[in-house]
C-alpha cells in the first residue's frame, strides 16, 4: 500500500547574547573548561530570582517578524517540570500557552512549498552530559544550562525527508541573516526534531477534505518524534528511515506507537527512547518568579519591522535578477556573506569602465570566471572567500584584460592561479611573466610556419576539407606560445598560409 507521510519540525537554536537567559553568567559556546560560566541563579540555588534577558526576547521578535508572524500584546514564561541530571533546577523555564511569536510561514526555494509556522517561543537550555569512553560514568557540564534557546514549531506541512531538510537549511539561513544565532550545528547551536506520521494516501486526502482548515496533528494518525538530530543529513536520513519503518508496521497490520525515538548516526536507524509525553506530564504553570511580558510596550515593533535586513529569499531573487546567478553558486552566495560581497564588488568594479552596450556580456563573463575558475581554485586550496588574497578590484581588472584581448583565456587561468596563491595585481603579473597577448602577425608568422611544417598530416587533412585540422594547428601554436597568442589572429594566419600552400 502507498502511504503519505506528514512531517512537522521543531528546531531549537541557541541565541547570540552576551549573557544567559535569566542571569548574568556569560553565554560562551566556545568555552572549553566545564562549569565556569555558572552562578547561583542558573544552578537553581534556593532564594535566587531570575531576570529575563531583554536581548533574547528581541531576537525572538525579530525572527517572528521576519517570518511574517504576529507578535502578541501579552506573553508569559512557564515552568516545565521534569527531572534530568543536566537540568539543575528540576524544571525548565519555558513558554507554553503564550509564546512571543505566533504564525508566519517560510517559502522553500527549491520545492516551492510554503511551510506554515505554528509559533516561536523562548526558553532556557539544559546543561550537557559528557559520557566516559567505557560508558560506565557521565559528568555534567553546566556552562550551557540557562543559555537562551529559541524553539520554532512548524505546522505539519511537509511530506518528504527532502522537504524537511530544505526547510531546516532555509531556517538556518534566516537565523544567520538576522544575526540572532550563529546556528553552528557542529557546536550544537542548532538541534532538530521531527514529528512523522503516515496515512494511506486515499485516507490522507480524504481527511484533508474533511477537516479543511482544521487539518492538523490530531487528524494525521499516530506520530513519532525523533529528537536531538544534529545535522541536516541526519535529519533527512532519520525521516526516511522512520517512513520506511512505519510503512512496514502498517503493511503488517500493526500499530505504530506514539513515542519519542532517537537517531543512531552509526547504525543509521531510529531507536525507541520513551512513550511520548503529553503537556500534562510536564505540569506547566506560570513561572511565579517572572512578570508577564508585554512585547509592544518593551519594543517599537513597527520600527523593528523596517529594521529587518534583506532576507535569504530576497537575496536569492535579487542575485538571480541582477547577476543571473543560479545553482550551486547562488546557494553559496546566500550562505556566504564574503562570497556575496565579492560578487557584488567585482561586478560593480567591472561596470565602472564597461561600455553600456556590453555590460550584460561582461557581467556574464565575470560570473563565469568566478563560478568556474575562481571557485575551482577556492575548493582546491581549501580556502574561504574571506581568506582570498584576490581582491574584487584585481579580479575585475583580470576580466578587463580578457575583454580587451590583452591576455588570452588560457593565460587568464594561469594568472588567476598566481593571484590566488600569492596575491598581486594581474597586469603586474602579466608584465613580469611576459604573458601579454600577441596579436602581431609578424611576431606569430615564424611560429605558425614551424607548426605547419611539423604537422604534414594536418595539412593533408585540411586539403581534404577537414575543418578540425585548423583547430588542431591553432592548439599546437597556442601551446608553443604558452597561451599568449591571440587565437583569432592565429586562426586567420594559419588559414592564410594553408590556402597559400594549397594554391601554390
CA–CA–CA angle 108, 109, 110 (5° rounding): 100
Q: What are phi and psi of 442, to 5 degrees?
A: -65, -40
Region 218-237: mean pLDDT is: 88
Co-location of 179 and 59 in the same domain: yes
Percentage of the residues of the chain whose pLDDT score is greater than 90: 60
Co-location of 405 and 484 in the same domain: no
pLDDT digits (tens, 9 = 90+) for 239-280: 999 999 999 999 999 999 999 999 999 999 999 998 766 667
pLDDT digits (tens, 9 = 90+) for 97-135: 999 999 999 999 889 999 999 999 999 999 999 988 888
Inter-residue contact 393 to 385 (CB < 8 Å): no
End residue of a domain, out of 306, 338, 365: 306
End residue of a domain, out of 271, 306, 341: 306
State residue 382's pLDDT score.
Answer: 92
pLDDT digits (tens, 9 = 90+) for 300-309: 999 999 889 9
Residue 146 structural domain: 3-306
Co-location of 248 and 389 in the same domain: no
pLDDT digits (tens, 9 = 90+) for 451-489: 777 787 777 777 777 767 778 877 787 776 766 666 777
CA distance 454 to 471: 15
Residues 6+ apart with CB under 8 A from 23: 39, 41, 42, 50, 51, 146
CA distance 336 to 341: 9
End residue of a domain, out of 281, 306, 331: 306
Inter-residue contact 129 to 140 (CB < 8 Å): yes
DSSP letters for 447-489: HHHHHHHH-HHHHHHHHTT-THHHHHHHHHHHHHTTT-B-HHH
Strands 285-286 and 148-154: unpaired
CA distances in angstroms from 498 to 43, 453, 503, listed in the order given: 88, 11, 9
Q: Is the pLDDT of residue 212 over 60?
A: no
State residue 443's pLDDT score.
Answer: 59
What predicted TM-score, i.e. pTM, was given to this entire model?
Answer: 0.80
> Across all residues in the chain, what is the average pLDDT?
88
The alpha carbon dihedral of 426, 431, 433, 437 has a sign of: positive
Is 26 in a helix, a strand, or coil? strand
Q: Is the pLDDT of residue 137 over 80?
A: yes
Region 66-75: mean pLDDT is: 97
Give residue 211's pLDDT band: very low, low, confident or very high (50, 70, 90). Answer: low
Region 192-219: mean pLDDT is: 73
Beta strands per DSSP E along 284-339: 285-286
Co-location of 290 and 335 in the same domain: no
Co-location of 447 and 466 in the same domain: yes
Co-location of 316 and 270 in the same domain: no
State residue 279's pLDDT score.
Answer: 66
Co-location of 296 and 320 in the same domain: no
Co-location of 253 and 367 in the same domain: no
Q: Is the pLDDT of residue 336 over 70?
A: yes
Region 325-340: mean pLDDT is: 83
CA distance 359 to 365: 10
Co-location of 342 and 292 in the same domain: no
Q: Look at residues 58, 52, 56 and name the one whose alpha carbon lies nearest to residue 299.
A: 58
Q: What is the CATH number of the domain that holds 471?
A: 1.10.10.410
CA–CA–CA angle 220, 9, 295 (5° rounding): 115
Co-location of 213 and 361 in the same domain: no
Inter-residue contact 405 to 431 (CB < 8 Å): no
Q: Per the structure, how many domains does the chain have?
A: 3
Co-location of 116 and 254 in the same domain: yes
Co-location of 30 and 134 in the same domain: yes
Amino acid at each position: 500500500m502507498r502511504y503519505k507521510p506528514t512531517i512537522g519540525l521543531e528546531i531549537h537554536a541557541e541565541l547570540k547574547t552576551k549573557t544567559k537567559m535569566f542571569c548574568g553568567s556569560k553565554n560562551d559556546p566556545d568555552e572549553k573548561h566545564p562549569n565556569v560560566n555558572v552562578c547561583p541563579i542558573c544552578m537553581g540555588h534556593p532564594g535566587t530570582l531570575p531576570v529575563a534577558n531583554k536581548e533574547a526576547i528581541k531576537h525572538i521578535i525579530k525572527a517572528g517578524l521576519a517570518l511574517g508572524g504576529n507578535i502578541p500584546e501579552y506573553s508569559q514564561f512557564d515552568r516545565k517540570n521534569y527531572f534530568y541530571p543536566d537540568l539543575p533546577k528540576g524544571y525548565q523555564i519555558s513558554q507554553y500557552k503564550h509564546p512571543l511569536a505566533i504564525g508566519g510561514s517560510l517559502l522553500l526555494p527549491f520545492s516551492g512549498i510554503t511551510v506554515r509556522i505554528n509559533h516561536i517561543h523562548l526558553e532556557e537550555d539544559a546543561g550537557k552530559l559528557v559520557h566516559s569512553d567505557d560508558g560506565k560514568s557521565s559528568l555534567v557540564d553546566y556552562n550551557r544550562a540557562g543559555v537562551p534557546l529559541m524553539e520554532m514549531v512548524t505546522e505539519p506541512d511537509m511530506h518528504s525527508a527532502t522537504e524537511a531538510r530544505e526547510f531546516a537549511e532555509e531556517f538556518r539561513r534566516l537565523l544567520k541573516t538576522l544575526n540572532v544565532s550563529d546556528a553552528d550545528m557542529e557546536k550544537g547551536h542548532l538541534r532538530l526534531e521531527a514529528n512523522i506520521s503516515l496515512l494511506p494516501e486515499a485516507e490522507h486526502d480524504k481527511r484533508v477534505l474533511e477537516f479543511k482548515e482544521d487539518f492538523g496533528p490530531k487528524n494525521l494518525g499516530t506520530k513519532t518524534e525523533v529528537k536531538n538530530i544534529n545535522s541536516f543529513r541526519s535529519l533527512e536520513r532519520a525521516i526516511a528511515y522512520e517512513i520506511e519503518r512505519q510503512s512496514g508496521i502498517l503493511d503488517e497490520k500493526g500499530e505504530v506507537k506514539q513515542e519519542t525515538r532517537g537517531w543512531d548516526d552509526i547504525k543509521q536507524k531510529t531507536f525507541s527512547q520513551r512513550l511520548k509525553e503529553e503537556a500534562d506530564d510536564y505540569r506547566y504553570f506560570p513561572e511565579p518568579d517572572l512578570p508577564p511580558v508585554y512585547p509592544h510596550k518593551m519594543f517599537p515593533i513597527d520600527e523593528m519591522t523596517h529594521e529587518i535586513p534583506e532576507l535569504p529569499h530576497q537575496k536569492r531573487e535579487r542575485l538571480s535578477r541582477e547577476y543571473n546567478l543560479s545553482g550551486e553558486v547562488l546557494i553559496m552566495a546566500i550562505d556566504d556573506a564574503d562570497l556575496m560581497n565579492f560578487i557584488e564588488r567585482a561586478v560593480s568594479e567591472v561596470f565602472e569602465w564597461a561600455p553600456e552596450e556590453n555590460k550584460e556580456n561582461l557581467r556574464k563573463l565575470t560570473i563565469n570566471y568566478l563560478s568556474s575558475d575562481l571557485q575551482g581554485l577556492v575548493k582546491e586550496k581549501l580556502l574561504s572567500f574571506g581568506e582570498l588574497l584576490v581582491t574584487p578590484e584585481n579580479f575585475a581588472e583580470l576580466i578587463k584584460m580578457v575583454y580587451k584581448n590583452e591576455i588570452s583565456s588560457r593565460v587568464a587561468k594561469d594568472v588567476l592561479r598566481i593571484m590566488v596563491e600569492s596575491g598581486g595585481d594581474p597586469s603586474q603579473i602579466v608584465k613580469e611573466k611576459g604573458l601579454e597577448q600577441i596579436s602581431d602577425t609578424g611576431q606569430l608568422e615564424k611560429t605558425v610556419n614551424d607548426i605547419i611544417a611539423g604537422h604534414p598530416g594536418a595539412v593533408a587533412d585540411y586539403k581534404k576539407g577537414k575543418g578540425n585540422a585548423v583547430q588542431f594547428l591553432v592548439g599546437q601554436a597556442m601551446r608553443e606560445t604558452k597561451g599568449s597568442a591571440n587565437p583569432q589572429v592565429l586562426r586567420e594566419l594559419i588559414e592564410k598560409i594553408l590556402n597559400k600552400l594549397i594554391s601554390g
